[in-house]
Amino acid sequence: MNVEVRQHFAALAVAVARNRDQTAFSELFDFFAPRLKSFLMRQNAGVTEAEEVVQEVMVILWQKAHLYNPEKSSLSDLAVSALPAIGVSMWHGAIVAAHSMRTSRFSCRQHLPRRMT
């Protein structure tokens, strides 16, 4: 994600935080929800489970938008912080590892869960 796109999404998140802007949230949802669902399904989550997790994460992002500070973190960081709150500790490590790959040259495969039980 380039700087302009990151800034655009940061502005949307700020609009959600300050004004409870549903249009801005809708754009965030349309962008992030399919990506998060796809990621979770690659980690062996079923379609229904992945969709439920995405819904929960997006609800938490709506509720905690006021905590977002674009100067200190990314929206991905806020999404990752929502996972333990909904009991997704098994995926939390995987998502943190995948998120850190932006700055690492090492594979996160060793940190990913093998199968969901």
Give residue 78's domain range.
Answer: 3-111
Residues 76, 25: contact at Cβ < 8 Å? Answer: no
Cβ contacts of residue 76 below 8 Å, gap of 6+? 99
Q: Which of 23-27, 57-61, 109-113 has the lowest mean pLDDT?
A: 109-113
In a domain, 64, yes or no: yes
Radius of gyration of the chain (CA): 14
Residues 46, 100: contact at Cβ < 8 Å? Answer: no
Model confidence pLDDT, tens digit, residues 78-99: 776 666 666 655 555 555 555 5
Overall number of domains in the chain:
1
In a domain, 116, yes or no: no
> The tokens of 64 are what?
């905690």
Q: Is 50 exposed, middle or buried (0-12, 13-18, 19+ CB in 10 A)?
A: buried
Model confidence pLDDT, tens digit, residues 46-66: 899 889 888 988 888 888 888
In a domain, 49, yes or no: yes
In a domain, 46, yes or no: yes
